[in-house]
């Protein structure tokens, strides 16, 4: 059975765990470096990226997660999780994990409207996928090997860079599991390749 970790420092952890389990995988809540052992995939949930960074430092998780990434563990970042993955953050000198070849901008969908829902068409995933945006970032620029999977108002909101999948919104807050299923398929394919 595939083991998918969910970084459990802050944010919508339980909702991700529920989707992972309903899709037939084992979900591991990750609170310290030892929980990263033997994971096939790792989900970085939404929350507040600056707070999450403080907690990553406090629990000494930043380098171990980077090491897991270097070791080939697939990672899926949603909202603040996307910010954690990015190589560059607009207005900041240094990134957090800095593993995904994208530039992200925080809080990019306006101050008046803190949150909204939209229906997305996602390449390789499907149509009419509900997406909840909460003070969401967007991908302002992407490297040439980044596959752009969805846009909202001309802005990139879902993309894949090899082993990394990142989205601006919160798929875990809906009853539509297709994006998590897509991530789990990525993990499964990768695990099959390693097994042969």
Binding site for ligand GLN (CB under 6 A): 46-49, 79-80, 83, 106-107, 134-135, 137
Between 69 and 79, name the residue whose CB sits nearer to ligand GLN: 79
CB of 189 to ligand GLN, least distance (A): 27
Between 37 and 50, name the residue whose CB sits nearer to ligand GLN: 50
Gap between the Cα atoms of 107 and 119, Å rounded: 19
Backbone angles phi, psi at 73, to 5 degrees: -65, 130
**Dihedral, CA of residue 139, residue 111, residue 113 and residue 180, to nearest 10:** 30
Q: Which residues are catalytic?
A: 79, 170, 172
CB of 12 to ligand GLN, least distance (A): 8
Between 71 and 91, name the residue whose CB sits nearer to ligand GLN: 91
CB of 164 to ligand GLN, least distance (A): 17
Contact 167, 82 (CB under 8 A): yes
Contacts of 2 (CB under 8 A, 6+ apart): 25, 26, 40, 41, 184, 187, 188, 191
């Amino acid at each position: 059975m595939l083991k998918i970790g969910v970084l459990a420092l802050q944010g919508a952890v339980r909702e991700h765990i529920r989707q992972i389990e309903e899709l037939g995988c084992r979900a591991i809540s990750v609170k310290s470096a030892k929980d990263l052992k033997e994971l096939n995939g790792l989900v970085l949930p939404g929350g507040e990226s600056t707070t999450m960074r403080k907690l990553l430092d406090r629990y000494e998780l930043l380098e171990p997660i980077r090491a897991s990434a270097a070791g080939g563990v697939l990672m899926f970042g949603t909202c603040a999780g996307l910010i954690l993955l990015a190589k560059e953050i607009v207005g900041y000198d240094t990134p957090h994990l800095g593993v995904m070849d994208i530039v992200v901008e925080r809080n990019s969908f306006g101050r008046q409207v803190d949150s909204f829902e939209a229906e997305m068409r996602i390449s390789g995933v499907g149509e009419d996928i509900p997406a909840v945006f909460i003070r969401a970032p967007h991908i302002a620029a992407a490297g040439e090997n980044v596959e752009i999977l969805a846009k909202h108002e001309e802005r990139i909101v879902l993309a894949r860079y090899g082993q990394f999948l990142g989205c601006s919104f919160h798929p875990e807050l809906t009853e539509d599991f297709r994006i998590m299923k897509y991530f789990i398929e990525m993990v499964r394919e990768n695990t099959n390749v390693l097994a042969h």
